Amino acid sequence: MHAPSPMALLLIAIVVLVLFGRGKVSSLMGEVGKGITAFKKGVKEGAEDIDAAAHSEPKELEQLKTADDIERARADLAAERAKLDAERARTGADSALRDVTPTDSTKL
C-alpha cells in the first residue's frame, strides 16, 4: 500500500475538525502526548532496573565466603534447574497431547 496523498490527509484533518471540534482534538492530542511521555519514562526506568540488576549480581557472589555458603548456593541452583527441567518436560508432554495431526506412520 502507498501513503495517502497530502490532499487526502488535509481532507481527513478537516473532517475530523468539523466532527469533533478544535477543543476535543487538542485535548485528545494532549492525552496522546502524555501517553508517549509515560511510555518513555517506563522504558527508561525498566532499563535502569536491568542495569541495577546486572551490577548487583557480583555483590551477591562476594557474600559467598565460606564453603558452606557456596554449597548451599549450588544446591539452590540445582533445585531451581530441576524445577525448570520438570516444567519443560511437562510443557512438552502437554504439547504432544494437544497435537492430533495424523502423521504418515498412523495412516492406513
Query: Exposure pattern of 74-86 as b/e (b: 16+ CB <10 Å)?
Result: eeeeeeeeeeeee
The pLDDT of residue 57: 56
How many residues make up the chain in this entry?
108
Q: Say how many CA atoms lie within 13 Å of 37 toward its Cβ.
A: 6
How many CA atoms lie less than 13 Å away from 41 in the CB half-sphere? 6
Give the global pTM: 0.39
Tell me the pLDDT tens digit for each residue of 32-90. 999 999 999 999 998 888 888 777 655 555 566 788 888 888 899 999 999 999 998 88
Of 3, 28, 25, nearest to 14 by C-alpha is 25
Q: What is the pLDDT of residue 63?
A: 62
